[in-house]
Amino acid sequence: MEYGVSWYPEHKTAADFQHDLDLLGASGFTVVRMAEFAWTCLEPEEGRYTFDWLDQAIDALGDRGIRSILCTPTACPPAWLSAEHPDILYMDNRGVRRPHGGRRSYCYSHPVYREHAARIGAEMARRYGRHPHVLGFQLDNEPAQEGTGRCHCPVCQDAFRIWLKRRFGSVEALNQAGGMVFWNQTYTRFDQVALPVNTIEVQATDLIQAYFENPSLRLWAERFASEQQIEFQNIQVRAMRPETDKPITTNATGLATNSIDAYASCRTLDFYAFDYYPSLLDPISVAPYAFARGVKRQPFWLLEFVSGGGHRLSGSGRSQAWPGALQQSVVHAAANDAALVAHFQFRTFPFGAEQLNYAIVDADGVPRRRFRECSDTAEVLRKLSPWLDNSALDSRVALLFDYDALWALHMKPVNPDFTPLGYLEQLVRELASFGVSADILDARQIPETPKQYRLVVLPALIVFDRESQARLKAYAASGGHVVASFLTSVKNRDNVGYKEPLPSGLQDLFGLAVAEVDPVFPHTVSAVETTGATATCGQTASWLECLELDGAEAWAVVAEGFRRGAAVVARNRFGAGQSWYCGTRLSGAMARAFWQTVLAEAALLVPELTVPLPEGCQLLWRTHRDGTPLLFAFNFTRQDQSIALNGSFTLAVGTQLEQTALSPALDAASCSPAVSLDKAMLKLGPFRWALLRSL
C-alpha cells in the first residue's frame, strides 16, 4: 500500500523546498506526485529541457525513502506553444476558444498538440523511466475535467466526419442508421455533417435551449469525443512505453465527469486511477470504488484524494474533517482495494487559481492536526499492510455500466427526477447496507458463468446490444442470478429504439413483456404492494413499467387505481438461473425487502449481519488467504455507534488500538475508549473504524 501527497517543488523557494522536504521526510508518506502543471519549468522553450529541479526533487525525496510519481504536464500547454499555435486551443460548443491562462485549454485532436504531448512524455520517460526512485507515470491531469471533453474546433469537426465515414462507409448508411429522414435531417455528403452543439458534458449542456438534435448523431459524437481523448492518451503511452517498464496511468475522474469511456481508456494503462473528493462529514459513497475495481478488475490508485477542508478552487469552502475522519477515509479506500492513496495536496498554495486551498499543511508550513493525522495514518497503513496484502475483496455482485446508456439517458432523461448515476449509487448503497460489495463492470463484459459474480444487475441499461442480450442469457442459463430494472434494452447502439416488445431480446429471460410505461410524478404516485407489505412509490420512483407476465411470477403489483393488480416486479426461472425484472425504482422498506429476497436466493446474505446496520456505518468483508473472513467496520457519523454482529471476532487493527495478528479473543479491558468489541456488539466512536478477524 502506497500513501502520499501531491507536491509542487517548482513553486518553492530554496528555504520552502528544504522545509517541505523535512516535513515530508517525517510524515511517513511513501510516495509523492509531481509535475502535472510544470511544462514551462521543464521546457522553457521548444526543445530546451530544464529537468534539473525535478532531478533534485526526486533524489531528495528518494533519500528520504519516498518514491515519485511523475506526471506529464500536458494539462497546461506552455505559453510559447499556445502563442505559436493558437489553433491548439480548445473550442467549446459555443465556438469559443479557451484562451491561454486557465488549464486544460487544449484540443485533444490537434496533430500539433498531440505531437508535442508525445514528445514531452517521451522525454520524461527517457530521463526517469528507469530511475530507482520513480514509481510510475501519470498522463495529463483529469482528462475532460472542467468541461474540456467535447472540443468543437475545426480539427475535431473534420475528424468527426472521418470517424463517421469510417464507421458507415456511405452517407446513405449513416442516414439509415440514425433515422435522418426525421425532420429532414438527411445528409447528401459527409462534409454537411457537424458535431451537434448540445453535449451531455458537465458545465456545457443545453447550449441552445429546446433545440432537439438527432439523438443518434449526438450519441455518435459522444463516442467519437471519448475515442479522440483515448487516442490522445495512447499517443503518449506509445511514445513512453519503449523508454520505461514502470506503470503508466492517468488520473481519471471516477463517476464524476463521465465523458471518457474508462473501460476503453484503461486498456492501454496499467492501473485504473482516479481522483476522489468525498465529504468527510458524511458516509463515503462506495460506488466510485465499486466502479474503480471493476474497470480493470484489479486494485486501483487514488492519485488525488481529499485532504481536509478550508478554501477551494470554486471559491466556496469545504468543511473540515472531524478528528479521525481523514484517517478513516484512507483506511476505507484501502479496504475497498485502493493500492495507492495520495492526498491533494501537501502545502497550501499562496498564489494562483487555487490560492489558499485546503492541503495537509497550511501556507505557513506549520504541521498541525491534519499533518499529524496523516503521519498516524501512514503508521496504521503499515500495520494494515499484511492484512490487506494477504486478503481479497471478492465481490460477488456485478453491476453493469455502459457509457452509451448513460449518455443516451442524459440526452433524453425520462423524468427530471431520474439520473442514471444517482440510481447506480442507490443500488450500490442498498447492497452495501447488507454488507455486500459489488463491482461495476463494463456492460460489454458480462461474465460467462456465475463462478465469480453470482448476481448481475442491470441498472436502466436503456442501450443494450444484441450481443449483450445473448451473453446475459447464457450467464443466467448457466446458473447466474440477474436483476434488471425498468428501461432495460430499449435501444440499440445507434440510440434507435428496438421495434419489438421490451425488454428487447430478453423477454424469454424475464418471462414477460413491458405492457405500458409511465413516468412517476408527484401527482401520479401510486402504491405498490407485495405479499405482506405495501409501499408508496414516492417521487423517487421516477418511472413505472407495468408488466405482462408470460411465465414470470409477480413479486409486487400496483395496489390502487385503474392499474390495480398489474405486475411491477416479477421473477422468473431461466435455465439453471433466476431473473428479476423491477419495473419501478423501489425505495425504503420495499427496496430492502426486495434485496433481502434476491440476495437470499443467490446465497449472498452475510451470516454475520443479521440486524440492519446503523445509518452511517459500513461493513466490508475481505477474505484472508487462509480462508478467514476479515471484517472492516466504519462509523461515518458524529455519534457513537454499536454494530450487532453474529459471530466471534478478534480485533486485528483499530483506531488508536492494535493487537497482533493472532491475538487471543479480545479482552475488552485492553481496548481504547474509541473501539471496543464484545461477542455480539462492536462499539465505534465518531469516525472510528476497526478491522476484525473472524474466529
Binding site for ligand GAL (CB under 6 A): 141-142, 145, 275, 304, 312-313, 344, 354
CA distance 375 to 371: 6
Q: What are phi and psi of 505, to 5 degrees?
A: 75, 0
Shortest Cβ 9–ligand GAL spacing (Å): 16
Q: What are phi and psi of 281, to 5 degrees?
A: -95, -10
End-to-end alpha-carbon separation of the chain, Å? Answer: 26
Residue (344 or 689) nearer to ligand GAL, CB: 344
Shortest Cβ 37–ligand GAL spacing (Å): 7
User: What's at 3, amino acid-wise?
Assistant: Y
Shortest Cβ 253–ligand GAL spacing (Å): 7
Query: Could you tell me which of 519, 511, 590, 589 has the C-alpha nearest to residue 556?
Result: 590
Residues with Cβ within 8 Å of residue 667, at least 6 apart in sequence = none
Shortest Cβ 312–ligand GAL spacing (Å): 6
Residue (275 or 425) nearer to ligand GAL, CB: 275
C-alpha dist (Å) from residue 690 to 289, 334, 652:
19, 13, 8
Shortest Cβ 292–ligand GAL spacing (Å): 16
510 SS3 class? helix
DSSP H or E stretch at residue 75: none
Residue (362 or 601) nearer to ligand GAL, CB: 362
CA distance 142 to 39: 16
Residue (143 or 450) nearer to ligand GAL, CB: 143
- Partnered with residue 456 across adjacent β-strands are 398, 482
Question: Of all residues in this chain, which one has the CB nearest to ligand GAL in the complex?
Answer: 142
- Partnered with residue 248 across adjacent β-strands are 137
Residue (354 or 430) nearer to ligand GAL, CB: 354
- Do 584 and 537 form a contact (C-beta atoms < 8 A)? yes
- 692 grid coordinates: 476484525
Shortest Cβ 533–ligand GAL spacing (Å): 44
Residue (20 or 275) nearer to ligand GAL, CB: 275
Shortest Cβ 396–ligand GAL spacing (Å): 33
Residue (356 or 517) nearer to ligand GAL, CB: 356
Query: Could you tell me which of 649, 656, 3 has the C-alpha nearest to residue 388?
Result: 3
C-alpha dist (Å) from residue 242 to 70, 125, 239, 246, 397:
17, 9, 7, 10, 38
Residue (276 or 574) nearer to ligand GAL, CB: 276
- Do 82 and 109 form a contact (C-beta atoms < 8 A)? no
CA distance 552 to 600: 19
Query: Could you tell me which of 452, 397, 201 has the C-alpha nearest to residue 286?
Result: 397
What letters, b where the CB count within 10 A reaches 16 and e where it falls short, cover 625-648? eeeebbbbbbbbbeeebebebebb
CA distance 372 to 370: 5
Residue (73 or 480) nearer to ligand GAL, CB: 73
Shortest Cβ 318–ligand GAL spacing (Å): 8
Residue (201 or 243) nearer to ligand GAL, CB: 201
Shortest Cβ 310–ligand GAL spacing (Å): 11
- Partnered with residue 391 across adjacent β-strands are 624
Shortest Cβ 203–ligand GAL spacing (Å): 13
Shortest Cβ 110–ligand GAL spacing (Å): 22
Residue (314 or 531) nearer to ligand GAL, CB: 314
Q: What are phi and psi of 522, to 5 degrees?
A: -55, -35
Place of cell 480462508: 627
Shortest Cβ 409–ligand GAL spacing (Å): 25
Residue (229 or 489) nearer to ligand GAL, CB: 229
Residue (35 or 613) nearer to ligand GAL, CB: 35
How many Cβ atoms are within 10 Å of 126's Cβ, its own excluded?
14
Shortest Cβ 607–ligand GAL spacing (Å): 41
630 SS3 class? strand
Residue (363 or 517) nearer to ligand GAL, CB: 363
Shortest Cβ 337–ligand GAL spacing (Å): 22
Query: Could you tell me which of 492, 422, 493, 434 has the C-alpha nearest to residue 459?
Result: 422
Query: Could you tell me which of 481, 491, 520, 487 has the C-alpha nearest to residue 420?
Result: 487
Cα dihedral sign for 103, 109, 112, 118? Answer: positive
Shortest Cβ 45–ligand GAL spacing (Å): 25
- Partnered with residue 642 across adjacent β-strands are 683
- 505 grid coordinates: 431480446
Residue (119 or 311) nearer to ligand GAL, CB: 311
Place of cell 529541479: 53
